[in-house]
Amino acid sequence: MDSDQGLPLPQRYWAIAVVALGITLAVLDGAIANVALPTIARNLNASPADSIWVVNAYQLAITISLLPLASLGDRIGYRRVYMAGLALFTVSSFACALSGSLVTLTIARVVQGFGAAGIMSVNTALVRIIYPQDQLGRGVSINATVVAISSVIGPTVASGVLAVATWPWLFAINVPIGLAAFAIGWKSMPRTPGHRQPYDYISAIMNALFFGIAIVAVDGFGHGEHRPYLVGELIATAVIGYFFVKRQLTQSAPLLPVDLMRIPVFALSVAASVCSFCAQMLAFVSLPFLLQDTLGMSQVETGFLMTPWPLVIVFVAPLAGVLADRYSAGLLGGIGLAILTVGLVLLASVGAHPGAFDIAWRMAVCGLGFGLFQSPNNRQMLASAPRHRSGGASGMLGTARLTGQTLGAALVALIFGLAPKQGAVIALAVAAAFAAAAGVVSVLRLTGKRSVEPA
């Protein structure tokens, strides 16, 4: 198979369907358990504080293993890592459904997080193999659409499942979907060559410690952790990070892709991604408080009014993907982020007595902006890396998203702690500032090259 021509039809469609199914399961399960936490806590005789580990264990496992698995994909092939991740996710979902205590559920969620990381770490690298180079934007747009929608419909899906079944079914429904995706993927997923360089286990451990402690520190900062503990975590993160990066600079194919960060367009795309997802998370976490606590709307009304954001992305992201194959991601991203900034400012200034339409169209503006930015940005990030480093680029894409979301959630907690009454409006204003910063970074790419494809 010519790697520049992609997979033949209809294999291409089957393969991208498997990628979409896998990433849907992985991203959806990051949010789907939130709604069920009170029920899970009561059922398993656990405290609310302890039950939060059902969510945190999953996210932490993904974050610490994403880059190591992406590096492993470069070494042994993306298909192997993806299919192994899908299998592990499916089996651990069954274990989650059968869990009879908080400890066993948390352990199963850790394993499930490692499976999800296997899926997330190489999914965009596989898209680069599945689609021809001149249609890469279309393939990336499918991924971007799925991630965007899955990130925000988790509570809706969870509410629907819990309305007709008990909480274990939140995890049990993954099993038939995962089995079907694995069966289809076994025949359709492309086989990619790896390299024979030894795997850097020391870097993998340092990566886990660095990102793990960093996330704990950011979360502690947002929730007002005692200062001595916070300072200790920050110092540990800085020390480990220094030696981690120093080690990566000596590697020919580093686990943390510092070699790719030397490519200006790639580095700018990563920065734009972190800032944009931080803005999105600031908005998604604070908007329910604005709509319910400030404007007096119900949970059902809140869910309905937030729907236009992901709904517009469904239509805009594919179009943006097609445009990304023709026009600069710096230009498309800059326009999209400018629109997102305007939408967030409009939401922050919606007033005390808005109608449903006043809120809905502002949400749609935000979805239009984010959808126009995300697909071209992801395409740029992937295409600017050499083909043999697609795994590293794919892992960095996921890491940038998770970093932005983690920072956004921590900032919301900090803002609400400092200004509980005006917290939602302030958080939306800060989100607008991050979106504007991402827009400036995106426009800076107009002076760089679109791609650094090897000859």
Query: Could you read off the pLDDT of 17-31 as tens digits, one per residue?
Result: 898 899 888 888 877
- 115 pLDDT band, cuts 50/70/90, is very high
The residue type at 137: G
- Whole-number pLDDT of residue 224: 63
- Please give the tally of structural domains in the chain: 3
- Quick one: 408 and 261 in the same domain? yes
Which of residues 9 and 238 earns the better pLDDT score? 238
Range of the domain at 233: 201-250
- Quick one: 194 and 213 in the same domain? no
Residues 176 and 52: beta-carbon distance below 8 Å: no
Query: Could you read off the pLDDT of 221-247 as tens digits, one per residue?
Result: 665 667 788 888 889 889 998 888 888
Percent above pLDDT 90 for the chain: 21
* Among 190, 222, 250, residue at a domain's last position: 250
**188 pLDDT higher than 90:** no
- Quick one: 158 and 261 in the same domain? no
Q: First-to-last CA distance in the chain? A: 17
- Quick one: 324 and 441 in the same domain? yes
d(CA 314, CA 390): 26
For the entire predicted model, the pTM comes to: 0.77
Query: Could you read off the pLDDT of 334-386 as tens digits, one per residue?
Result: 999 999 999 999 999 887 788 888 898 999 999 999 989 988 888 888 888 88
- Dump the DSSP string for 212-238: HHHHHHHHHHHTT--HHHHHHHHHHHH
Task: Read off the pLDDT of each residue in 117-144 and give the average, rounded to a whole number.
Answer: 82
**295 pLDDT higher than 70:** yes
- 98 pLDDT band, cuts 50/70/90, is very high
- Quick one: 188 and 302 in the same domain? no
Query: Could you read off the pLDDT of 58-91 as tens digits, one per residue?
Result: 888 888 888 888 888 888 888 899 999 999 999 9
Residues 378 and 131: beta-carbon distance below 8 Å: no
- Quick one: 261 and 224 in the same domain? no
Among the residue ranges 4-8, 180-184, 185-189, 220-224, the one predicted with the least confidence is: 220-224
- CATH number of the domain bearing residue 415: 1.20.1250.20
**2 pLDDT higher than 60:** no
- Quick one: 330 and 372 in the same domain? yes
- Quick one: 129 and 207 in the same domain? no
Give whichever of 102-106, 215-219, 335-339, 441-445 has the largest mean pLDDT.
Answer: 335-339
- Quick one: 164 and 298 in the same domain? no
Percent above pLDDT 70 for the chain: 93
- Whole-number pLDDT of residue 366: 93
- 454 pLDDT band, cuts 50/70/90, is very low
Which of residues 216 and 320 earns the better pLDDT score? 320
Give the helix/strand (H/E) hosting 316.
helix 308-324
Structure tokens at 5: 């021509």
Task: Read off the pLDDT of each residue in 443-447 and give the average, rounded to a whole number.
Answer: 84
- Quick one: 161 and 71 in the same domain? yes
- Dump the DSSP string for 87-117: HHHHHHHHHHHH--SHHHHHHHHHHHHHHHH
Q: Where are the beta strands (DSSP E) in 22-89?
A: none
Q: Which residue has the tokens 């800085």?
A: 238
- Quick one: 215 and 82 in the same domain? no
**166 pLDDT higher than 80:** yes
